[in-house]
Structure 1
């Protein structure tokens, strides 16, 4: 599917054979992997820094930014306003709730069984002093679909990032324990030792617990709230929602502006209460 999409959209890419991979990335033990796709124009976006830049640009363009909690709307028909935790009232013609893993908490009856926040452990390993094989450009950002691990090269000397892409257990984004488990560390170390032999005994320099928030299919939720004419629900994105952020923003803005239909695969009706992941 990835290769077909790249070809369809004319995205520059290379299909590398096993021997080509070994020659280009000798620091990686590819094992049974016989080919891979490389995108030379791809890269890494620093999430926190990017979100701050978007907020700053929006403020410069005249938008208001309120670091407030907002309660779930009540009633039906057309929503006139929402109330923040501090008691302030926000009035608007349209309301978009894009709350990430908190979306099912804002709308528990509607989305409590359709958006699934999961616990995801992330690890950063120290690389040998002066060894640039695990930093960009010698090491690309990568994902191993077979093993369900992904990684990012050592950026800003924070360590070589590796995480499991397999969905973890259910997670409360407010109250969940954000200490990584011994089992998670053992699993990732075993993978690192096989795929990156030089890092077999690398020190763990940082670890954190994040969360995914996926729909039953793994695809986005972009649809009107069934009880309100002017309330939109946008979620199920996890990391995909962030990297597709500009396109998603344009898509949602266009729906608000022209009232066009939502693609069926994004609709609330396609979001089941049983997880059957089909989008990765």
Structure 2
């Protein structure tokens, strides 16, 4: 009798059998209990947001999936760990990321609704900039054309709606009313639980095959297909392929505390906000779940090693944050710093993601380059990767290809 998983394995095997000479023949999937290691359909290396959503989509479509991470799910060194992340739909006139964000918003909302604690907070996202900013104008055009709820505001309306923010002459803005913030570490754990999966703590290396053609991930763990979704660790695992093409940078994040009883800096009085000016982006969160008012600067910091970089914020970073607060949020200029963290972006040359095969391995996928804006897109990225794995003829988006990843930084995605 053919099981559902057996049928899927046969279908996937038929597609993967078309792989080139670099790939060995796909071995038979075996179950535990026979005295031999389990051979999963897919092993996902990296339990960050791209990894867990890839595993989620594969599992929901019937694949046998294992997922591993060197430090565990949502750990402190991960780009997907910690507190809040923005989820917004505005990407100027970009034809890829706004639809992906819209798809992902729905998926995050559904998983959040099924969980014990919320992942998605629909605070809205407030954008403000010089009224002449082209990126902002194109974002509003996309929202209107796609019938996404939003509210446009001139300077007077901004000041009336958000008196806790100092706006400047010549500025305007808009509010995405249904987007907001995601709780990051909780989110990746919830996605795995929703898929019925548990991650193993295992430091997987570059791909190695056994005599039968399966990939050996670790003791008693093999898979027919590998997905490497390990964020800033990708260029460390594959330096010859990705060295200089994905660059981890140090990013400091600060949480300040308002005065007791002051609700101006918490929802619903304040949404997620983004101060955008010709590629210079400062963004932040209202006080979510008692974690304080968050502020971060989007420009890329120094290049770092995600294993060994210092996780202490610098006095210069704190001073920069306070100087910004004094200008834009003066009531918080002297507020206590209640906590802060150092994370990292893993940047491609222009901000586009990576979803492509590892050269020489038709059954090994490299997924990453979140570039500071990737967390929100986890569901859409995972769905695309699952399509590639289960339907090998699915064409690779040229912007996500390995060939498009340059070594010269020319950022164009914000």
TM-score computed with the length of structure 1 as normaliser: 0.92
Q: Can you give the 5+ residue segments of structure 2 that lack an aligned partner in the other structure?
A: 1-91, 93-138
Structure 1 position 133 matched with structure 2 position 264: yes
Match of 2:300 in 1: 167
Cα distance in 2 for partners of 1:162, 1:48 equals: 18
Match of 2:283 in 1: 150
What is the Cα deviation at residue 3 of structure 1? 2.5
Match of 2:207 in 1: 73
Structure 1 residues 226, 9: closer, same or farther in 2, change over 3 A?
farther
Cα distance in 1 for partners of 2:244, 2:364 equals: 19
Match of 1:117 in 2: 248
What is the Cα deviation at residue 161 of structure 1? 0.5
The answer (yes or no) to whether the contact 1:79–1:231 under 8 Å persists in 2 is no
The answer (yes or no) to whether the contact 2:351–2:371 under 8 Å persists in 1 is no
Cα distance in 2 for partners of 1:100, 1:6 equals: 30
What is the Cα deviation at residue 89 of structure 1? 4.3
What is the Cα deviation at residue 152 of structure 1? 0.4
Structure 1 residues 30, 122: closer, same or farther in 2, change over 3 A?
same
Aligned length: 272
The answer (yes or no) to whether the contact 1:97–1:231 under 8 Å persists in 2 is yes
What is the Cα deviation at residue 31 of structure 1? 1.6
Structure 1 residues 186, 136: closer, same or farther in 2, change over 3 A?
same
Structure 1 position 18 matched with structure 2 position 149: no
TM-score computed with the length of structure 2 as normaliser: 0.63
SS in 2 for 1:166: coil
Structure 1 residues 100, 5: closer, same or farther in 2, change over 3 A?
farther
Structure 1 position 204 matched with structure 2 position 337: yes
Cα distance in 1 for partners of 2:149, 2:295 equals: 26
Cα distance in 1 for partners of 2:176, 2:146 equals: 13
Q: Deviating runs (4+, > 4 A) in structure 1?
A: none
SS in 1 for 2:340: strand
Pick 1 or 2: higher relative contact order, CA cutoff 8 A, min separation 6: 2
Cα distance in 1 for partners of 2:285, 2:239 equals: 35
The answer (yes or no) to whether the contact 2:215–2:225 under 8 Å persists in 1 is no
Structure 1 position 44 matched with structure 2 position 181: yes
The answer (yes or no) to whether the contact 1:71–1:83 under 8 Å persists in 2 is yes
Deviations 1:111-133 (A, max 9, x none): 12111100000001110110100
Residue number among 340, 356, 360 corresponding to 1:227 in the alignment = 360
Q: Can you give the 5+ residue segments of structure 1 that lack an aligned partner in the other structure?
A: none
What is the Cα deviation at residue 208 of structure 1? 1.0
Structure 1 residues 238, 277: closer, same or farther in 2, change over 3 A?
closer
Cα distance in 2 for partners of 1:217, 1:258 equals: 28
